[in-house]
Amino acid sequence: MLQQDRSDRSRKQILDKALRLFSKQGYRGTNIREIAEAAGLSPASGCRMGICHTCVVPLESGCVRDVRTGELTSDPGTHVQVCVSVAAGDVEIAL
């Protein structure tokens, strides 16, 4: 299977799982770590509440909101914590 085909399949699986979680927990109640795990990915995590910074990854594109502070982050390359960040629209991160 070509890399592009695998990437497309992974993207579809992530979007499907995100939509299911959004319908159960709400858009603002679903962090990026939960979506990744539901899609079968294993993002690094420790405390799962934003204290240990184990889950920090670079933002590729889009915008995320820190659920603790409400702060929006949209600069590509900025490191975000997936356990306390929710998507504020379409988002790509490097897991």
State the pLDDT confidence band at 63, using cuts at 50, 70 and 90: very high
Question: Looking at the 3D structure of the chain, how many domains does it have?
Answer: 1
Show the domain range for 83. 3-93
- Residue 35 sits at φ, ψ, to 5 deg, of -65, -45
Indicate which CATH number applies to the domain containing 84. Answer: 3.10.20
pLDDT above 90: residue 95: no
Looking at residue 88, its amino acid is A
Instruction: Render pLDDT for 3-28 as a digit per residue (tens, 0 to 9).
Output: 777 888 888 999 999 999 999 999 88
Which residues, 6+ apart, have CB-to-CB distance to 32 below 8 Å? 43, 64, 80, 82, 83, 85, 86, 87, 91, 93
Q: How confident is the model at residue 84 (pLDDT cuts 50, 70, 90)?
A: very high
Spatial CA neighbour of 48 closest among 86, 81, 14, 26: 81
Over residues 64-74, the pLDDT tens digits come to: 999 999 999 99
Q: For 37-50, how does the pLDDT look when each residue is reduced to its tens digit (9 = 90+)?
A: 999 999 998 998 99
Which pLDDT belongs to residue 9? 84
